[in-house]
Structure 1
């Protein structure tokens, strides 16, 4: 197990070095190496924070850093506890992707299509929020294409998915707090 972690670290270091070397010739252009990304993030409301459906729950705290910290903590937790098999790994990828979608709340429904690719690889409670998000994502077209931009599609797609993710998290944590509730056997009426 220890060797696997070292190999994972070397793989990540090699990936980082490869990306760095690939961008090295372009560093002379400064920020323009990112292309249209800063403009896209500003245009889509990532810079102002208006993009995030769940931002009001942060109570005035800067939501983007909270999002990054939450995603990093989840990724670190999943990385430190390796998946038992390929199906478990697929479920973890699906969980990370669902959390990213629900936290970043893209207005475009086609981002949810990627979740469909991981549905057959996943099992367990993660399928509940995945199914809700992929089934309700087409409703986001109502928000996207209507002149009045109604918010109910966001409530259905992202609110429902966030609630399902919270339920899945509680279900996963049940083992840490004593397991599922037990019914009393042979109880007198």
Structure 2
């Protein structure tokens, strides 16, 4: 059985990795969580195989015009499922951030920080629920549309007499006067 400190340190490293990968938490906080200096964290990151995070500063490149490959790579419209996945990831990150704040500060955490975290979580959960409801409504509407189409997408008659008979049957069904087949 592993000692508790080893299990706890693995949990802390796992949480730090999640925060590091999310790219939202500043490196200073991740290093403080692990109790490492900048140089120690750099060597730890390399030894653990953590990829280098991109720079938070977005630089404009004035010397190279956008190529067709770059333009086609940028998605013009987001898929609703990917939005749901991204919102779920944001909820998980916020929960992790709140857990880390509670673990490091304990019960003496700043009330303002906890209130802000709670508001962010509530907003994310509401948005996620609304997006899932909208997807469900769209799926139901598509299903109903397909049922309506299937009702009228019969095989077309080949002969003129068959066409007249089929048209008469459909008119009777629509008006409700004749027998339904």
TM-score by length of 1: 0.25
TM-score by length of 2: 0.26
> Which structure has the bigger radius of gyration?
2
